[in-house]
Amino acid sequence: MDQVSFEKKLHNMDQQPYYAYKNLSGISVSFNNFSILFKHIQGSPGASPASLCQLVIPAKYLNLPNWSQSTQARTTASEDYILRIFYDAVIHCAQQNRGDEGSGSFQTVNMPQQVLKRNIVQFFEHSLSINFRISLPGSKKKTTLCKEAVKMFSYELPLIIKFIMHTISENKALKQHCDCVEDMLTLQNNLTQYGLIAFVADGSLLARESGISDRPAPKDAIPFKVPDDLTVEVDLPNAGKVRGLGLRAGISTIIGGGYHGKSTLLNALVKAIYPHIPGDGREQVVVNREAVYIYAEEGRCVRDLNISAFFYSLPHSSDPHHYSTDNASGSTSEASSVVEYVQAGAKLLLIDEDSSAANFLYRDPDLRELIPEDPIIPFFDRIQELYSKYGVSTLIIASGSSRYFSVSDQIIAMKNYLPVEMTKRAKALKGRSTHLAESSPEATLPITDKRILSQDNFNPEYINKRLKKIIPIRIKALRGQEHEIIEYGMDKIDIRYLSSIVDADQIMTIGYLLLLSRHLKLYEEKCSPTQLAKKLLALIQEKDLDILQIPETTPVFFSQVTVLELVGALNRLRSLKTK
């Protein structure tokens, strides 16, 4: 359909009942320099999800330079950049809330400080596609306001496209975006060649706006400055040689007084799984892709897990070789997380004393002597084995104890947000304990996930008892806790402690990955939760994110997740059944 016919169709629908908009479903409209396809039409003004359109722009119109898609990293960066420009263009070019209940609006998305691969923006051979949500304008009487809709599509949308084109034509910002992402991903792939688990460049601005915001702090934040005795130099494809703090593989301890930057550094590393946008301040903070933050999570569920590496015995006749609970303690929850993530391939455990169970981290010599029957085998007793036998490094923030000095390869103090080498001084201190547990129920950590998923898993049905009806598929983020809880069927999956999750679309991706495993009956292949997560992400790698979309249903926005993130969610599913 051409633009003239489209506008005529809208005028004929004006002031009709709102459901008349359904006549647009599946229609493709060609404008001068772009086309749109109506993929979903909402049922009423202000309905959620809103209507969804696919915008297709010819590549020759955007005049994108060849280097913008010369590598996979640059392609992802270019897609991310253009999506951000699209939302900026909406703010600058569109009049929002033309109708009742917020309808008559192009809906924007709060993009994170990180760059993720997404299904809503994609380059094809001769075009660029962007999926966007738009709330079609309606009145209080639930009728169409099609004259306003004509303005949105025939006037404002072309302005949005021109805004994108002119912004891209400047090239400088797009190139900076591509260079930044390519540098980060290249260094992440090469960290092991430098013998590192993480890198923080000189001049990085790690402080954030607030405890609930991931945006940069005001400009008076203290730049990260690395002393010569801690400096390493890396070679990046675009930035060239960059100096900074190199955290070596092995065991590292970070110490320092309160409010001197220990947690700020740790948080920067947790969020460095994915590349950052230019201007974030952490563009050159890079961590091993298989890094994970380990917390004590009182009340979390655990299913049939072997935690005997950390417990000789458990209360109430529970077997540490087959531990299940709906209400884990701080120590059992933290032990479970270590085992689950190591089984899934973690290469760096990030731990903060302040968010850990003290009795899990260590036990001093006096208590070992006075209470020899304590059933807990502290993490301290396993930390060297984790690295020497399995290549799992640990970085621990020590606020109130020097116990880990004796097993640390590197000790760094944070003083006024700046790192100071402390390894020699700390190692020279007297009175440290080097006592290790003499034995444990198992000679080594149970590194293999031997659990087998039962056949009846991942049921997406939701039974609404009040309305006495069954919703076949319920997968969504809990309203008000979009970054904390996934509602899947009758389950609520608590993902608050999956700290590397940065975007609400990742939560939907996790939910639909569970649904995909049910549809494909992957559990019939007698796999463990760890194996299932790896199979699912291998499918995404092969088929792309759109394999998650259920045909003939409302399109969903997806973005990339890691194996460790998916494993973390799987193991927190309270209805998980294993053998």
List, as one string, the DSSP characters of 103-123.
-SEEPP----SB---BSSEEE
**The residue to which tokens 């075009």 are assigned:** 127
Closest by CA position to 87, among listed 126, 41, 55: 55
Task: Report d(CA 115, CA 99) in Å as an integer.
Answer: 33
Strands (E), 158-290: 196-201, 208-210, 213-216, 231-236, 240-248, 251-255, 285-287
Strand partners for 350: 293, 395
Task: Report d(CA 49, CA 422) in Å as an integer.
Answer: 54
Q: Tell me the pLDDT band of 114, cut-offs 50, 70 and 90.
A: very high
Task: Report d(CA 498, CA 337) in Å as an integer.
Answer: 11
CA distances from 499 to 81, 122, 568 (A): 24, 27, 10
Mean pLDDT of 223-251: 96
Q: In this predicted structure, what is the pLDDT of residue 456?
A: 87
Q: Tell me the pLDDT band of 513, cut-offs 50, 70 and 90.
A: very high
Other CB atoms within a 10 A radius of the CB of residue 27 amount to 14
Other CB atoms within a 10 A radius of the CB of residue 421 amount to 18
Q: Please check the confidence at residue 438 and state whether its pLDDT lies above 70.
A: no
Domains and CATH numbers, the chain: 3-170 (no CATH), 249-447 (3.40.50), 462-570 (no CATH)
Q: In this predicted structure, what is the pLDDT of residue 439?
A: 45
pLDDT single digits (tens) 115-131: 999 999 999 988 999 99
More confident site: 437 or 62: 62
If you average pLDDT over each of 61-65, 259-263, 274-278, which comes out highest? 274-278
Percent of the chain with pLDDT over 90: 80
Spatial strand order in the sheet of 196-201: 231-236, 240-248, 196-201, 285-287
Q: Please check the confidence at residue 437 and state whether its pLDDT lies above 70.
A: no
Q: Tell me the pLDDT band of 196, cut-offs 50, 70 and 90.
A: very high
Q: In this predicted structure, what is the pLDDT of residue 430?
A: 63
Rounded to the nearest integer, the mean pLDDT of the chain is 92
Whether the ω angle into residue 275 lies within 30 degrees of 0, i.e. cis, is: no
Q: Is 279 helix (H, G, I), strand (E, B) or coil?
A: coil
Alpha helices in 136-252 (DSSP H): 146-151, 157-170, 172-190
Q: In this predicted structure, what is the pLDDT of residue 433?
A: 47
pLDDT single digits (tens) 163-190: 999 999 877 999 999 999 999 999 999 9
Q: Tell me the pLDDT band of 431, cut-offs 50, 70 and 90.
A: low
Mean pLDDT of 454-462: 92
pLDDT single digits (tens) 90-101: 999 999 999 999
Mean pLDDT of 329-340: 97
Mean pLDDT of 350-365: 93
Q: In this predicted structure, what is the pLDDT of residue 465?
A: 82
Mean pLDDT of 269-287: 97
Q: Please check the confidence at residue 435 and state whether its pLDDT lies above 60.
A: no
DSSP-derived pairing of the beta strands 348-352 and 393-397: parallel
Q: Please check the confidence at residue 289 and state whether its pLDDT lies above 60.
A: yes
Torsion of CA 70, 76, 77, 80, to 10 degrees: 140
Read off the tokens for 525: 């292949």
Q: Please check the confidence at residue 559 and state whether its pLDDT lies above 70.
A: yes
Task: Report d(CA 377, CA 360) in Å as an integer.
Answer: 7
Strand partners for 233: 243
Other CB atoms within a 10 A radius of the CB of residue 387 amount to 19
Q: In this predicted structure, what is the pLDDT of residue 12?
A: 94
More confident site: 367 or 539: 539
* Single pTM value for the model: 0.93
Mean pLDDT of 281-310: 96
The interaxial angle of helices 157-170 and 172-190, nearest 10 deg, is 70
Read off the tokens for 135: 């709330």
Task: Report d(CA 406, CA 426) in Å as an integer.
Answer: 9
Q: Tell me the pLDDT band of 18, cut-offs 50, 70 and 90.
A: very high
**Stated length of the chain:** 579
pLDDT single digits (tens) 522-538: 877 889 999 999 999 99
Q: Please check the confidence at residue 441 and state whether its pLDDT lies above 60.
A: no
Task: Report d(CA 291, CA 197) in Å as an integer.
Answer: 9
pLDDT single digits (tens) 371-427: 888 899 999 999 999 999 999 999 999 988 888 999 999 999 999 999 999 999 998
